[in-house]
Chain A
Amino acid sequence: MEQAGLSTVTLSPIPDLTASVGAPRVAAIGYPLGRSFGQPGDAEGQSAVLRAALRTVETAQRPGAVIDLPFDWPETPSQVKASSTANPPIATLLKRRPWLLPKLLSRNPPN
């Protein structure tokens, strides 16, 4: 995208991963996955995150800049993890065949 003349910013809840793939500008957000802009119904909070993420396009000065956004999530990590309902097929498969986990770690699927 940058090569096509577009200026990008990534709002990332896992900034270490986003930075590792060479994202030009990263706005790091300390929120759980699946709600990077904030809580449902919290228009004000969502706007604040959106505004801060976009401003990063103006403030980031060098390729690979990671800028931490100053927002705190109201729940603890254990509250967030306890309430998650996601159940990916790969997790079910690995419960049955745990010896395949290295294939996932190396992103090298079995044939």
Chain B
Amino acid sequence: MNKIDSYRFLGPVTAKLVRRWIDREPLREIPWTPLRKPLNESTVSMLSTAGLALAGDRPFDQDGERRDPWWGDPSFRVIPRDTAEDDVRVYHLHVDTRHTEQDLNCTLPLTRLRELELAGEIGRSAPSHFSIMGYLLDPTEMLERSIPEIILRMRAEQVDVVLLAPF
């Protein structure tokens, strides 16, 4: 199998950013929880960085980012498992959102996951799925406030497996 090229679809500035940001990352110990049950008995939740929110929910703050382009909204939103795809909005100014607006499953495959549940390939799709908005030059607030709350909800819903889906 050929090695996936991380830079294949990136423009020159983004590719340069990614290389620089990789160089800045320290070596660290990688946390690890072994899978406790087979996938077909596991509860699966998903977390997308696309800036997804329910149509009736608070949008991610794009005006704030337009005022200060160095800033990104560090909050998170819940997307319930049975949400109709048309009820989800995409708030992300850095990635082409058209495909996700056309079909949410390109980014947060709620329907596909329910199909795997129905087919018995996973235990179940968790009651809640989540989104943050990934353009955060300083992720401190997201990491200190949003992620712990997401983890609490996942644990309350007895999630076993989390599929993280960077946008």
Contact = CB atoms under 8 A, between A and B. Distances in A.
Contacts of B154: 1, 4, 6
Contact of B97 (A5, A15, A34): A34
B145 interface: no
B144 interface: no
Prevailing SS type, chain B contact patch: loop
A40 B106 contact: yes
B24 A107 contact: yes
A64 B4 contact: no
Interface string B76-103: 0000000000000000111111111011
B116 A51 contact: yes
Interface residues of A, number: 75
A32 B115 CA distance: 24
Contacts of B44: 54
A64 B39 CA distance: 20
Contacts of B65: 89
A21 B116 CA distance: 30
B13 to A, nearest CB: 8
A63 interface: yes
Contact of B121 (A1, A51, A88): A51
Contacts of B33: 2-3, 5-8, 24
B107 A35 contact: yes
A17 B155 CA distance: 27
Nearest to B36: A7
Given A6-B162, A9-B164, A34-B107, A16 B113 contact: no
A89 B166 contact: no
A62 to B, nearest CB: 8
Interface string B123-167: 000000000000101100000000100010011000111111111
Given A5-B33, A8-B164, A68-B2, 6 more contacts: A6-B155, A34-B167, A68-B4, A83-B96, A86-B96, A91-B13
16 contacts: A5-B155, A7-B35, A13-B9, A23-B30, A24-B33, A30-B8, A34-B107, A39-B106, A40-B103, A43-B105, A51-B121, A53-B163, A54-B161, A58-B38, A86-B94, A106-B20
Interface of A: 1-18, 20-24, 28-41, 43, 46-47, 50-51, 53-55, 57-58, 63-64, 68-70, 73, 77, 80-81, 83-93, 101, 103-107, 109-110
